Amino acid sequence: MHRAPLTLAGNSHLVHFQRAIDMGATPAPRRPLQFHARLALSLLHPFFEDDAVTRPGQECLLMVPGFRIGNRVLTDPAHPEAHASVDAALITPEHDAQMLERYLNRLDDLRRRNPAIRFLFWSLVAGEYRARSEGRYLQPDGTYRHPTWNLAEIEREFPEHTISLAPLLDSDVLPALLKDSGGHPTELAAALFHRFIEDPERPTDQALAEVRRTATVPCLSFWEPTVLTGDSAWLATLADYAERGIIRLNQHVRIIADSARITARDGVVLYITDLDGTALRAGQGDHGSDAARLPEEALAPIRRLAALGLRPRVFTWANKANEFTNPPVTWAPDHPGSPMALDEQLAARLPEADVLRDAHWAPHSVSLRDVDIEQLSGRPKPTVDGLSQVVRLLGGGRTLQWLDE
């Protein structure tokens, strides 16, 4: 039976989901979809009054943006960024209460105009999880209560139009559903979204139970004792994802962030670094790079490991990932600032280590799907595929394990 397209409306969380589908990181739902999403946009923006959301009878799943997004409309509604950001100066109980009132009024208006709409308060789940984890807003009896908005109370405002996410707050799976502190969804969360898309009436605890029975998580493996260390955002992401269950590591893998703690008895050492041509070209008129310009202290941790007789293998993550950031950092292969050239230069500076170079693979060791293009506020972060790819390049592998295994 043919089903009409379902509108998925929201902000950056849905943009992540759409890109994961487009890049093949998660399968497309069987049901036809139309995405109506923009990054960092307030629910109060006219974008969410489009026919795709408000047309009577149009099935729509609205992932409600965070209630503080667009709080500048309270004081400066004409500002060009009024709907697209959070003004930290307006994070007060009074302004929060005003934003809550405006959001509830908008949600009430949307459900009246289109009775087929459903609300998903994903940002509220992420915020409540983060606050609970940090011990904020805890009452004397140990219960959680935000002074302005609480998930269960907000959901009760629209019982016929809400897919309740309250069961997630008590689930041990929740940390593995959230990619970062902003609550962007992981591939496991995408599996849960599939259930909501196919059957919005299905209770969340049933959908979550089905995900637990059928979902898999990647396990990154090495076949001999291996230590991962370095100064890279890649390593920090690996440690974070492993702690929260987004990925797993087999028994041979250890993460030691502080390379000074590594001893000669620690086995194979893999050093992931964010040394790259971008840093080297700063302030240089020719925009070139030359590893000879690197200060010796930048190489000292690697030299120390080599002095222990470990001969570390070095992978320059940022050097390769920056090619896919925005704006991309690209050079011709023979340019002195290219990833290939920098790796060759670094290898010449570190003969006591094994620098893995792009010249060993064709055309590139890192691809677009390996770089989290939504996380570009600092050093480039990897996706789950990016974690897996670097492990493969360093001699390891990836298998899948059942979530409940």
Q: Rounded to 5 degrees, what are φ and ψ at 314?
A: -115, 130
pLDDT of residue 286: 44
Residue with tokens 């030359």: 290
d(C-alpha 193, C-alpha 124), whole Å: 16
Dihedral sign of CA atoms 123, 124, 127, 132 in order: negative
For domain 217-402, say whether CATH 3.30.70 is its number: no
Q: Rounded to 5 degrees, what are φ and ψ at 254?
A: -130, 145
First-to-last CA distance in the chain? 36
- 32-85 pLDDT tens trace: 999 999 988 999 999 999 999 999 999 999 999 999 999 999 999 999 889 998
Architecture of 6-214 per CATH? Answer: 3-Layer(aba) Sandwich (3.40)
pTM: 0.87
Amino acid type, 119: F
d(C-alpha 81, C-alpha 76), whole Å: 9
Question: What residue segments make up the domains of the chain, in order of their start?
Answer: 6-214, 217-402
Burial 228-248 (b: 16+ CB within 10 A, else e): bbbbbbbbbbbeebbebbbbb
- Could you tell me which of 107, 139, 180 has the C-alpha nearest to residue 378? 180
Contact call for residues 234 and 272 (beta carbons, < 8 A): yes
The bridge status of strand 313-316 relative to strand 253-255 is: unpaired
Tokens of 395: 């001699």
Amino acid type, 290: D
Contact call for residues 328 and 348 (beta carbons, < 8 A): no
Contact call for residues 271 and 312 (beta carbons, < 8 A): yes
DSSP string for residues in 199-264: -TTS-HHHHHHHHHHH-EEEEEE-SS-EEEEES-HHHHHHHHHHHHTSSEE-TTEEE-S-GGG--T
pLDDT of residue 326: 53
CB within 8 A of 256, min separation 6: which ones? Answer: 227, 228, 229, 262, 266
pLDDT of residue 80: 87
Amino acid type, 8: L
Tokens of 255: 């993460």
Tokens of 253: 């893998």
Contact call for residues 330 and 276 (beta carbons, < 8 A): no
Based on the number of CB atoms within 10 Å of its own CB, is 348 exposed (0-12), middle (13-18) or buried (19 or more)? exposed
Do you find a cis peptide bond into 147, omega within 30 degrees of 0?
no
Q: Which long-range contacts (CB under 8 A, 24 or more apart) does 43-47 make?
A: 43/69, 43/70, 43/103, 43/106, 43/107, 44/70, 44/73, 44/83, 44/102, 44/103, 44/106, 45/70, 45/83
* Residues 251-257, mean pLDDT to the nearest whole number: 97
Q: Percentage of the chain surpassing pLDDT 90?
A: 68
* Residues 170-180, mean pLDDT to the nearest whole number: 93
- Three-state DSSP at 315 gives strand
Tokens of 263: 């001893």
Phi-psi region of 32 (alpha: psi -120 to 50; beta: other; left: phi over 0): beta
Residue 377 has pLDDT above 70, yes or no: no
The bridge status of strand 313-316 relative to strand 268-273 is: parallel
pLDDT of residue 294: 75
Residue 328 has pLDDT above 90, yes or no: no
Tokens of 376: 């570009």
Do the first three CATH levels of 6-214 and 217-402 match, i.e. the same topology?
Answer: yes
Tokens of 232: 């890279």
| Chain centre distance of CA 288 | 32
pLDDT averaged over every residue in the chain: 88
Task: Give the residue with greater pLDDT, 249 vs 297.
Answer: 249
319, HSE (Cβ side, Cα atoms, 13 Å): 33
- 262-303 pLDDT tens trace: 999 998 999 999 887 555 544 444 444 556 667 788 899 999
Residue 337 has pLDDT above 70, yes or no: no
